[in-house]
Every structure is written in structure tokens, then in C-alpha cells.
Amino acid sequence: MSELKQTDRVKPVIDNPWQELRRYTDARIAQGRTGVSLPTKALLAFQMDHASARDAVHVALQIDALADQVKAAGYSTIELHSRAADRTEYLQRPDLGRRLDLRSVKQLQEYRQKHPETVTVALVIADGLSSMAVQSHAAAMADAVLTRLENRGLSIAPVSIVSQGRVAVGDEVGELLGAELLILLVGERPGLSSPDSLGIYYTYQPQVGLTDARRNCISNVRPAGMSIDAATEKLVWLIDESMRLQCSGVGLKDQSVSSVALNANKNFLLPE
């Protein structure tokens, strides 16, 4: 008995035998325990990740800094706003984040009158539920995609940056700009291990009122998830197929194959 007590004093945290698997995932597995509680280190890590997730939702997107990054890559921008007046209303009224306010609608209508030429691609950046993701990755993602599409000879509208915007707001922007293809970059709902996850939504022939069945989604674009290069490759494949089939969403199945996808299918429990 005295030997057991001595061991407990030396090592109060009881390890989980699955701890080795933690190097394969950010999920909270094999945290260990102290009595019936989490070890202090695991508890503090949880509190830090929870605070990061809250910050990702509530911290305002720095519009000017993002616009400067996009312009530095060689693209003009249009700054817009949804019908949600502020962050509180945005979180309480998802419907208001799906439509542009009247001033933004007029702004796009005036732009269209001055530039009646047809554009193929409209790229929209919306803060969504993670300004952190948009601030960190959206400009680089936009540059990577638009460079590929310009090299294919597709005409590009100015990049629209929408404050307090949700996914569906991109359809209204695309329709007002008369674009054939819509690419929306948006901050995804943050998880405790992924506060900086960027989502990409693609729509063929965007218009107000479309449902998610008409959109294709590429998720988890971030350094610890899908890389910008891999996401660009997947998106360009979807665009090519979309233009060939003249559809998007459930009618367009992602059958692209990349080295990233092949590696993801490997079972980490099996030896190489």
C-alpha cells in the first residue's frame, strides 16, 4: 500500500494508453486524468481553444487590411454589407446575413451600368463565422484561384468583400454582377481545434433563392487542414466540370483525384 501511495505522489496524472494516437489528430482523445478530473494542462488547453473559437466569431474583420492584400495581388475590390447591421444582429438573424443591404445593391447596380460587359467569374469574400480564417487565408486563396482562371482566359469581376455575410449572400452578388460562375470564400463555424477554417462555395449561374443543393463546398482550408494549393486544384476541377455539364451542386460530383486525397485515404493504423 505504501508503495502505491508513493507512486501516486510521483505521478498523479493517470495516462491514457491511447495517447500515442494523439499525434494523428487534433481531437481531444487520451487526455489523461487526475482522479476523476482532467489534468491541469489539458484543462488550460481546452479553455484556450474555447477562447480562440469565441474570438474567431466575435472579432471584427479588418476590411481595409484584407482589401489591401487583394489589391496587392492585382485585383480591384468592392466593399459591401449585408442587411445585418452589426455582429449581434448577424448572429441572431441568419436571414439578414444572406442578403445585401440596399446601399450595397445600388452600389453593384451602378457598377454594372458602368461596366456592362459580361464577366465569367465573381469571387466574393464574406466574414462568415470566423473572421480569423478570412483574415489569414482569404487573400492568398483568392489570388491562387483567380490566377489560374485568368490564365484560362476567363473574365473576372472585382473581388467583393461582404461584411456580416453568410453563404447565400454570394448568389445575390453574382446575380447583380451578371456572372456565370460564383466563388464564395467564407469563414466557417469554428471548432475547438479549428478556429481558422476557411470554406469555399461554388455556384454555377448564381441567383437569389438558390439552396445548398445548387452549391459545391470545399471545407477546412487552413494550414492544419486542406492546403490552398490542394483546394485550388479541387476548385478548378469543379469549375471545368461545371462549365462542361452546365450545373453545380448535387448534379456535379467531385471526382477529382490528387496526391492529397490519395494520402488522406491511407489508414494511419496500418504500417507503411
How long is the chain?
272
List C-alpha distances in Å: 236 to 148, 160, 228: 8, 20, 12
More confident residue, 16 or 159: 159
Provide the number of structural domains found in the chain: 1
Cβ atoms of 27 and 21 closer than 8 Å:
no
Residue 111 in any domain: the answer is yes
Residue 267 in any domain: the answer is no
For the ranges 57-66, 127-136, 262-271, the lowest mean pLDDT is seen at 262-271
Cα–Cα dist 39/108, whole Å: 54
Residue 20 in any domain: the answer is no
Residue 134 in any domain: the answer is yes
CATH number of the CATH domain containing 198 = 3.40.50.11240
pTM over the 0.75 mark: yes
Residue 37 in any domain: the answer is no
Q: Which domain holds residue 98?
A: 57-262
Cβ atoms of 237 and 243 closer than 8 Å:
no
Which amino acid type is present at position 242? Answer: S
Residue 194 in any domain: the answer is yes
- pLDDT of residue 269 exceeding 60, the answer is no
Residue 199 in any domain: the answer is yes
List C-alpha distances in Å: 154 to 172, 203, 231, 272: 20, 16, 19, 43
Cα dihedral: 217, 169, 181, 176 (round 10): 180
Question: Per-residue pLDDT averaged across 237-249, rounded?
Answer: 95
Summarised one tens digit per residue, pLDDT across range 128-184 is 999 999 999 999 999 999 999 999 999 999 999 999 999 999 999 999 999 999 999
Phi/psi of residue 122, nearest 5 degrees:
-115, 125
Residue 201 in any domain: the answer is yes
